[in-house]
Structure 1
Amino acid sequence: MSQIDISQTLLTAFCKHQLVSLQLKERDQDGNLPADIEGFVEGYTEQEIIIISGIPVPFTEINHVEIKRM
């Protein structure tokens, strides 16, 4: 997913207070992706860190984001 698409999706979720699911780029030593992070976008910091339900996530580490349907 492009950084523009990620940014637009996060902004939409923030403005509409929608639940998101984030997939990170990092992999463990076996090549597996970690579990997705789910939560609400609470804000951004000046260092391009997105706060998802209290969890700081570097924007550059996000591989994919989607808005969860409730």
Structure 2
Amino acid sequence: MYGIKQFNAIINPPQSCILSIGAAIKMPVVVDNQITVARVIDISLSCDHRVVDGIVGAKFLNIFREIIENPMIMLV
């Protein structure tokens, strides 16, 4: 929206987690051993470790990535 590529959001009470998503930027990526251009975003999850274990946050980010990369998953 504002062209910000990456940032880390700060947790404000009473939040336990906050997700930050940067702008989609065209970058070279390798797909099927071919270099192509794709839109890439930086995603950051800040968690209060007194409330949420880091492993839970990492699992959330992995599932989030899978859904963003393959939106048909939501229909199954």
Higher relative contact order (CA 8 A, sep 6+): 1
TM-score between both structures, scaled by the size of structure 1: 0.27
Q: Which structure's CA Rg is the greater one?
A: 2
Q: Between Structure 1 and Structure 2, which shows a larger proportion of strand residues?
A: 1
TM-score between both structures, scaled by the size of structure 2: 0.26
